[in-house]
């Protein structure tokens, strides 16, 4: 247990089982097709790395970096693309891989942006879904866990670039992020 965290929300073993399950579902759904998995940096990197190893169909991956949080614990509501794809998406089956869907602002924007580039399909896969905070609608095709409205870190998720390396999902103690000028 990390001293800055209140408790473990999702243990490592449950994450691993869910990643295997999602990989099997994606493989079944895309049998006979090639996938382009788009990981959203930096949070989805660990999830994407584990997930692609569980997918049996031909799979390529690339990354996008977007910002809507900065060093804050709350979304600013403005999405900026910091790093775009290195490859084209025209005619490809795309799965956007995200660590968490919270307000939906980022993924709603990314799905619209990628759909405008003429892919064969665009679906969303997320490890965590926090529907109580949703502002923009997002259709999540592959969902790991639905979580309550708590600030979580670990398995790629961070607060101010810290805690990504934790092997499970933990609830961050509010004392860590409260009264930091946010």
Please list the alpha-helical segments (H only) found in the chain. 12-29, 45-52, 105-115, 174-177
Nearest Cα residue to 43 out of 68, 14, 12: 68
Dist CA 144 CA 17 (whole Å): 10
Torsional sign, CA 171, 172, 173, 175: negative
Between the two ends of the chain, the Cα-to-Cα distance in Å is 26
Q: Over 50: is that where the pLDDT of 182 sits?
A: no
Residues 36, 61: contact at Cβ < 8 Å?
yes
Label residue 180 by pLDDT band (50, 70, 90). low
pLDDT digits (tens, 9 = 90+) for 140-165: 999 999 999 999 999 999 999 999 99
pLDDT of residue 43: 93
Q: Is the pTM of this model over 0.75?
A: yes
Dist CA 12 CA 166 (whole Å): 9
Write down the CATH number for the domain with range 12-150.
Answer: 3.40.50.2020
pLDDT of residue 1: 81
Residue 62 annotated among the catalytic residues of the structure: no
pLDDT digits (tens, 9 = 90+) for 37-86: 999 999 999 999 999 999 999 999 999 998 775 545 455 567 888 998 98
Bridge-based pairing state of the strands 35-41 and 93-101: parallel
pLDDT digits (tens, 9 = 90+) for 94-152: 999 999 999 999 899 999 999 999 999 999 999 999 999 999 999 999 999 999 999 99
Torsional sign, CA 12, 103, 76, 99: positive
Q: Over 60: is that where the pLDDT of 11 sits?
A: yes
Q: Which of 102, 118, 129, 149 is catalytic?
A: 102
């Amino acid at each position: 247990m990390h001293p800055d965290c209140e408790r473990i929300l999702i243990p490592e073993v449950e994450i691993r089982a869910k990643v295997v399950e999602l990989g099997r579902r994606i493989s079944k759904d895309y049998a006979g097709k090639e996938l382009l998995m788009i990981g959203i940096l930096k949070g989805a990197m660990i999830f994407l790395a584990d997930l692609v190893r569980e997918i049996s169909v031909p799979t390529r991956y690339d990354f996008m970096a977007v910002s809507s949080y900065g060093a804050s614990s709350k979304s600013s509501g403005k999405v900026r693309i910091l790093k775009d794809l290195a490859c084209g998406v025209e005619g490809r089956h795309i799965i956007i891989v995200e660590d968490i869907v919270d307000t939906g602002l980022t993924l709603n924007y990314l799905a619209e942006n990628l759909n405008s580039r003429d892919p064969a399909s665009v679906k969303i896969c997320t490890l965590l879904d926090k529907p109580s905070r949703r502002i923009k609608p997002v259709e999540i095709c592959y969902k790991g866990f639905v979580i309550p409205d708590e600030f979580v870190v670990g398995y790629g998720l961070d607060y101010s670039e810290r805690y990504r390396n934790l092997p499970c999902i933990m609830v961050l103690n509010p004392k860590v992020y409260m009264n930091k000028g946010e």
